[in-house]
């Protein structure tokens, strides 16, 4: 595709939008530990993804003593197991200036009697680099979900625990594809909390309108391919959602200004194969990142869901 005749300002906008969510120009650090929320025991863990990428995380036993219930937790792009550091300023605040605190959510689960295995996806946090640093919004990262489950299955204690999944946004997309590709591996999972799963078409098309380049979607896809990534139309959990048959609780920001919600979130939810599934819409904000903090501030729905299927 020849882009030489495009106006310079259009081409710059196209390249910027193509790189958004495909490349990872900076990592979000693991900026706090469970001690920040009164949890004084955890172990650093290390295990390989399905394709050998070294992944890092924490194992946080339930406060008061290890229980027989385990939740595997991952995170969105461009965050880490601890959350996001937009409040630190550049370069993170170019995405959003909020702090996202996933450690608060880990602490809520640990204090409620759940052990938590929280890990960084490839190219995020302190996990290894892979795929030229490219993010697939799930299309590469499903291998990390497989690696985490195999780590648990091979562990002498963790393998005997009732298992739930907490898979967020990019991590949720990845989990859908992992279940699609390896259904036998996830047959024993009790339930899946899947916040903020998203199709990249819903984000890229909204941003293209914001940038005034909605007539250049094919060019955006071409530039994504040039970067070594998937095109925005391929970064989509919908083809894999029917494979997800365990009980699912999904939530979305209804008026998310970054995506075409409620349409996109509803379409993903409708395609999930589970008969037992529920959707919760967060109201009163247009900021997508407010959704990521929701369960840290209001853990009741999260804990009620896990309690229903894991106790």
| Backbone torsions φ then ψ of 206, nearest 5 degrees | -65, -45
Which pair of structure tokens corresponds to residue 133? 């640093």
Domain boundaries, the chain: 30-199+235-310
Mean pLDDT of the chain: 96
* High-pLDDT (> 90) share of the chain, %: 95
CATH 3.50.50.60 fits 30-199+235-310, yes or no: no
Least confident of 2-6, 14-18, 63-67, 72-76: 2-6
Q: Is 215 helix (H, G, I), strand (E, B) or coil?
A: helix
pLDDT at 117: 99
The string of pLDDT tens digits covering residues 180-192 is 999 999 999 999 9
Q: Confidence class of residue 24 from pLDDT cuts 50, 70 and 90?
A: confident
Query: In this structure, how many other beta carbons lie within 10 angstroms of the beta carbon of residue 226?
Result: 12
The string of pLDDT tens digits covering residues 163-206 is 999 999 999 999 999 999 999 999 999 999 999 999 999 999 99
Give the whole-angstrom CA distance, residue 260 versus residue 203. 7
Q: Is the pLDDT of residue 3 over 90?
A: no
The pTM for the full model equals 0.96
The string of pLDDT tens digits covering residues 274-309 is 999 999 999 999 999 999 999 999 999 999 999 999
Give the whole-angstrom CA distance, residue 143 versus residue 122. 9
Residue 58 pairs with which residues in a beta bridge?
44, 118
């Amino acid at each position: 595709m020849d882009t030489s005749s495009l106006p310079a300002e259009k081409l710059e906008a196209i390249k910027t939008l193509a790189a958004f969510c495909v490349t990872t120009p900076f990592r979000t650090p693991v900026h706090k530990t469970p001690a920040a929320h009164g949890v004084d025991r955890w172990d650093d863990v290390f295990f390989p993804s399905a394709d050998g990428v070294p992944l890092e995380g924490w194992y946080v036993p339930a406060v008061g003593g290890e229980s027989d219930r385990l939740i595997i937790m991952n995170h969105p792009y461009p965050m880490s197991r601890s959350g996001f550091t937009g409040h630190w300023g550049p370069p993170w605040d170019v995405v959003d200036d909020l702090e996202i605190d996933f450690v608060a959510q880990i602490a809520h689960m640990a204090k409620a009697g759940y052990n938590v295995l929280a890990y960084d996806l490839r190219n995020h946090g302190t996990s290894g680099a892979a795929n030229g640093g490219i993010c697939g919004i799930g299309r590469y990262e499903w291998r990390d979900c497989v690696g985490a489950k195999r780590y648990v299955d091979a562990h002498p204690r963790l393998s005997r625990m009732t298992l739930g999944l907490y898979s967020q946004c990019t991590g949720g997309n990845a989990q859908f594809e992992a279940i699609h590709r390896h259904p036998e591996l996830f047959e024993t999972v009790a339930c899946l909390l899947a916040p903020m799963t998203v199709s990249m078409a819903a984000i890229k098309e909204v941003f293209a309108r914001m940038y005034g380049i909605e007539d250049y979607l094919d060019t955006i896809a071409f530039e994504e391919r040039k970067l070594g990534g998937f095109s925005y139309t391929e970064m989509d959990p919908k083809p894999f959602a029917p494979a997800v048959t365990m009980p699912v609780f999904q939530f979305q920001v209804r008026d998310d200004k970054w995506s075409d919600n409620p349409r996109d979130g509803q379409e993903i939810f409708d395609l999930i194969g589970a008969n037992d599934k529920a959707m919760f819409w967060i109201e009163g904000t247009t900021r997508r990142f407010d959704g990521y903090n929701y369960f840290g501030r209001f853990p009741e729905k999260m804990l009620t869901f896990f309690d229903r299927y894991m106790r």
